[in-house]
Amino acid sequence: MAGKPVVARTTAGVDIDAAFEQYLITAGPEVASRFMDALEVAFSHISRHPGTGSPRYAHLLQLPGLRSWPLTRFPYLVFYMETPHEIDVLHVLHGSMDLPEWLDH
């Protein structure tokens, strides 16, 4: 089943680069590569099943349509919104962050 294209905003790209770099420095290239693999799996899932992400933060931030999906084996969440033609990825953030604060900017 083909899904919608997943498009990462610049903010999401910055988040991804920072997480990758952190894993590269602290855990090595193999873990950094597994992080990117987990991100690709998450993108593939939300591409085909965008409605399965949690709307929890949409309610907290009063942003209708905002959803999040967790990465497998990594403490990160992909924050996205579905549009008629694509999946718009706003951020990829570590779950221990003050997420409402980060997403509100």
In this prediction, residue 59 carries a pLDDT of 83
* Assigned domain for 93 exists: yes
In-domain check, residue 1: no
The string of DSSP codes covering the chain is ---PPEEE-HHHHHHHHHHHHHHHHHT-HHHHHHHHHHHHHHHHHHHH-GGGSB-HHHHHHT-TTEEEEEPTTSSEEEEEEE-SS-EEEEEEEETTS-HHHHHT-
pLDDT given for residue 104 in this prediction: 57
Q: How far apart are CA 26 and CA 31, in angstroms?
A: 9
**Domain extent at residue 28:** 6-103
Q: How many domains does the chain have?
A: 1
Residue 41 lies in a domain: yes
CATH classification of the domain holding 61: 3.30.2310.20
CA distance 72 to 42: 8
Q: Please list the ranges in the chain whose pLDDT falls under 50.
A: none
Q: Domain for residue 15, yes or no?
A: yes
Q: What is the pLDDT of residues 43-72, one digit of tens each?
A: 999 999 999 999 988 888 788 999 999 999
